[in-house]
Structure 1
């Protein structure tokens, strides 16, 4: 899932990657919003909030949203630099290793917040939580973009919803029976990918909020543990002897 890149991937691998990571991203995004009222991965909403605050003269509050957007961009840049360095050195597990690093950061973030808030008020660590999650979502989004040649996105729901609408319109334009078989198969493959990703993001969001209500900040640690399993299985599969 995290080894093959670009044209070496098939639609099955793309779906597995998209569904798994979108569920985690949806859980983190929803849990963070439920806790502090900010979306860590919704750059469209964050930029809209930033522009609104600038327009109303609330520059100081706008800096917070600007920091979220910058953290996301920095995360994507760090991920890209790490991928490039790994590929130059022939590290075939570079994508999985970066996901493993993301998992470790999530685990430490959740555990650290849980420990701090056990002896302080609930407002402690809010900026760290939002900025760290934004950075990690940018990092993750860059990974799936690179490994799938931009076929897969895990947080860009607006784009996927648009693609679903376009795909449905292409099938309905001349009627499904009049669309060439190869074209229809390609459209259906994309629809399955995008619709499944949106559903996974939504399902992950429900699970994320429920987990946060149950175990609080340790839900971020749990998400890190899930990501580490995904990465570890890919690393083990890459090292397994082929027959």
Structure 2
């Protein structure tokens, strides 16, 4: 899922990446709505709230929403910056770096929320900001490594693309190409797993509160582990074969 760049990715790898990260986004968003009455997988609603609070002159709320927007933006910036900066050390490492950061931040949120959260306004504002940062990080990571093909933290653009592509698929003049079929499969995968993630996340949060975020962490660990085993195996094979090449060169 993470090892290959956008030019070499297969439809299977994009589908796996879409399914896992969309379910993670669904869990996060629904859990956040239940806990804080705030959406965290996208910032569309927050932009509207920002404008509303400016008009009403509620400057504290304006400041908080602005910080939330900037945290989502910073997450997106950081993911792409890390991928570009670490690319020389290997695609897998550079693509996995944002995932490790997201796992770390979500772990802090899950532990703090379960053991220490007292439902104060300041705590709520900080935890929502942390989740928005994670979702900006994840969305940018997924979009960057897939070349913009996969986006899994919001469904507004998904429905727009899905509507346009369904129109092409059903239109009597437009040919039903393999590429169009793959795009539709990808869109429905994202939508389906986002909904499944939301249902599972909502049930787990109502039953186990903030520990539900460990479901997201487990999904992200699977994303990292899926390619890690292949990378380690490949490096091990190289080390085993290297002495044989050295012997041949010496002979």
TM-score, scaled relative to structure 2: 0.87
User: Does the aligned pair in 2 maintain the 1:22–1:155 contact within 8 Å?
Assistant: yes
Partner Cα separation in structure 1 for residue 73 and residue 210 of structure 2: 24
The structural deviation recorded for 1:51 is 1.0
Q: How many residues align?
A: 235
Normalised to the residue count of structure 1, the TM-score between the two structures is 0.90
**Residue deviations 1:48-97, cap 9 Å, x none?**
11112212222321222211111000011111111111103335332123
1:210 Cα deviation from its structure 2 partner: 0.8
**1:220 and 2:213 equivalent?**
yes
Of 189, 201, 209, 1:196 maps to 189
CA contact (8 A) 2:17 2:223 kept: no
Q: 1:209 aligns to what?
A: 202
Partner of 1:134: 132
Q: CA RMSD in A?
A: 1.8
Q: Is residue 107–residue 222 contact of structure 1 (8 Å, CA) maintained in 2? A: no
Q: Partners of 1:7 and 1:25 in 2: how far apart?
A: 25
Structure 1 residue 17 displacement after superposition:
0.2
Structure 2: 5+ residue runs without aligned partners?
239-251
Partner of residue 36, structure 1: 36
Q: 2:146 aligns with which of 128, 145, 148?
A: 148
SS in 2 for 1:154: coil
Pairwise CA distance, 1:161: 0.4
Aligned to 2:119: 122
* Whole-angstrom CA distance in 1 between matches of 2:157 and 2:219: 26
Distance 1:32 1:123 in 2: 15
3-state SS, counterpart of residue 193 of structure 2 = helix
Query: 2:145, 2:78 → 1: CA distance?
Result: 15
Distance 2:174 2:212 in 1: 46
Gaps of 5+ in 1: none
Greater shift, 126-135 or 94-103, is seen at 94-103
Q: Indicate the residue corresponding to 2:180 in structure 1.
A: 187
Distance 2:68 2:222 in 1: 28
* SS of corresponding position for 1:240: helix
Secondary structure at the residue paired with 2:116? helix
Moved over 6 A (4+): none
Partner SS for 2:7: helix
